[in-house]
């Protein structure tokens, strides 16, 4: 039997709420409704789920989905070892057995035939058929399914089917307001809030370039990286270039525009 404690979130994660999402999540969990969290990369989706798992005192099993992922990667498979074959539960199966919150991060990356395996877990059945093993698992009463995705990346080929979407309640996340974001950077890294405010200003300017040469704006995650570097003694301009500009663009014009914005701020 899997040890639950290895999946518990031991220490309270720092999470700055943006609205009433904490109360709404609690209501969804109380009814064991499946939850979807939408929003751009690095805006706090995973941190929110970690925080909720801690607050509700439930184990959390996170799966980073990718396009090579198969249903077996979620559900489990037979392994061959010296003693013959043995079954190994996948993360979704483990979560259903022990009563964890199962967080499928960037679920649209997974192939559609993979996402279908979650369907029976999301409705009144709350079951998971292990076809290869010939077993039907009834989800533990504490089990809950959570998925995240970034609607910005979607295209016709890669989108969740309506039949999947309509099994979830949803939160729409975005980058926090300037004041909240500066607060988050400061609390997360210990950097002076005034300097954090400058990082946020540059971040917000870059977000306006989305669709004009940038696919995605500078995420809160990257702003946290920059703040961390500055806090550790790196020159502010160098930190901003390294953490906020170089990762997001290969376009020389955009890079120069952002570098100028940094020079003007520091
Ligand atoms: P994603 O939306 O890609 O799941 P994360 O949840 O990993 O993003 O957030 C990236 C980082 O941004 C976190 O590690 C944390 O440092 C910071 N962050 C973003 N939003 C918040 C928030 N509301 N409260 C606390 N930290 C946040």
Angle ∠(171,55,108) on CA atoms, nearest 5: 35
Q: Report whether 177 contacts 185 (CB < 8 A).
A: no
Q: Count the neighbouring beta carbons within 10 Å of the beta carbon of residue 201.
A: 16
Taken in order 245, 180, 43, 7, the sign of the CA dihedral is: positive
Residue at token pair 């998925």: 147
Whole-number Cα distances in Å, 262 to 31, 217, 257? 47, 15, 9
**What does the alpha-carbon distance between residue 90 and residue 111 come to, in Å, rounded to a whole number?**
17
Neighbours of 100 (CB within 10 A): 25
**Vertex 265 angle, CA 259 and 266, to 5°:** 90
Name the residue among 151, 173, 160, 221 with its Cα closest to residue 37: 173
70 lines ligand 1 (CB under 6 A): no
Task: Give the 3-state secondary structure percentages of the chain, helix then strand then coil, rounded to 5.
Answer: 45, 15, 35
pLDDT of residue 216: 85
**Structure token pair of residue 261:** 């914005």
Ligand 1 atom having least distance to the Cα of 50: 6
Residue listed under structure tokens 């079954």: 87
**Does residue 265 have its Cβ closer than 6 Å to ligand 1?**
no
Residue 183 to residue 193: CA distance in whole angstroms:
7
Residue to substitute in 17, 18, 20, 44 for testing ligand 1 pocket (most ligand atoms within 8 angstroms of CB): 44
Q: Ligand 1, closest atom to CA 47?
A: 6
The conformation of residue 123, written as its DSSP 8-state character, comes to: S
CB 184 less than 6 A from any atom of ligand 1: yes
3-state secondary structure of 169: strand
Interface predicted TM-score of the whole assembly (ipTM), two decimals: 0.99
Structure tokens of 145? 């399914």
Q: Looking at ligand 1, which residue's alpha carbon is closest to its atom 11?
A: 221
Give the mutation target among 55, 221, 243 for probing the ligand 1 site: most ligand atoms within 8 A of CB: 221
State the Rg of the chain over Cα.
Answer: 21
Q: Is the CB of 47 under 6 A from ligand 1?
A: yes
| Contact indicator for 124, 14 with CB cutoff of 8 Å | no
Q: Give me ligand 1 centre to Cα 171, in Å.
A: 15
Nearest CA to ligand 1 atom 6: 44
For residue 4, give the DSSP letter: G
- Asked whether 46 lines ligand 1 (CB < 6 A), one says yes
pTM of the full predicted structure? 0.94
Query: According to the model, what pLDDT value does residue 15 have?
Result: 98
Strand, coil or helix: 11? coil
pLDDT of residue 135: 94
Q: Give pLDDT, residue 190.
A: 98
pLDDT average per 10 residues of sequence, the chain (266 residues): 85 96 98 96 97 98 93 93 92 97 92 86 93 94 96 68 92 96 98 97 91 88 98 98 96 94 94
Question: CB of 62 closer than 6 A to ligand 1?
Answer: no
CB burial of 66-88 (b: ≥16 within 10 Å; e: otherwise) equals: eeebebbbbbbbeeeeeeeeeee
Q: List the residue whose alpha carbon is closest to atom 23 of ligand 1.
A: 16
C-beta separation of 143 from 126 below 8 A = yes
Alpha carbons 217 and 40: distance in angstroms, whole number? 9
Nearest atom within ligand 1 for CA of residue 148:
4
Q: Determine the distance separating the centroid of ligand 1 and the alpha carbon of 125, expressed in angstroms.
A: 33
Nearest CA owner, ligand 1 atom 18: 44
């Amino acid at each position: 039997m899997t040890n639950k404690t290895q999946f518990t979130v031991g220490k309270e994660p720092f999470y700055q709420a943006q609205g009433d999402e904490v109360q709404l999540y609690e209501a969804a969990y109380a009814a064991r409704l499946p939850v979807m969290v939408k929003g751009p990369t690095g805006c706090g989706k995973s941190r929110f789920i970690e925080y909720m798992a801690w607050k509700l005192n439930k184990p959390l099993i996170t799966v980073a989905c990718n396009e090579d992922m198969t249903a077996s990667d979620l559900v489990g498979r037979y392994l061959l070892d010296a003693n013959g074959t043995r079954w190994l539960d996948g993360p979704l199966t483990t979560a259903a057995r022990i009563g964890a919150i199962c967080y499928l991060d960037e679920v649209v990356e997974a192939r559609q035939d993979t996402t279908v395996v979650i369907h029976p877990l999301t409705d009144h059945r709350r079951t998971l058929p292990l076809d290869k093993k010939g077993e039907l698992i009834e989800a533990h009463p504490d089990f809950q399914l959570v998925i995240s995705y970034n609607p910005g990346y979607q295209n016709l080929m890669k989108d969740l089917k309506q039949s999947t979407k309509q099994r979830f309640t949803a939160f729409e996340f975005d980058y926090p307001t300037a004041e909240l974001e500066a607060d988050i950077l400061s609390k997360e890294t210990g950097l002076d809030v005034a300097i954090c405010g400058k990082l946020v200003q540059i971040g917000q300017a870059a977000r306006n370039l989305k669709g004009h040469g940038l696919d995605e704006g500078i995420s809160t995650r990257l702003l946290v990286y920059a703040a961390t570097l500055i806090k550790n003694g790196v020159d502010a301009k160098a930190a901003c270039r390294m953490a906020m500009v170089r990762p997001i663009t290969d376009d020389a014009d955009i890079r120069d525009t952002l570098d100028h914005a940094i020079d003007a701020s520091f």
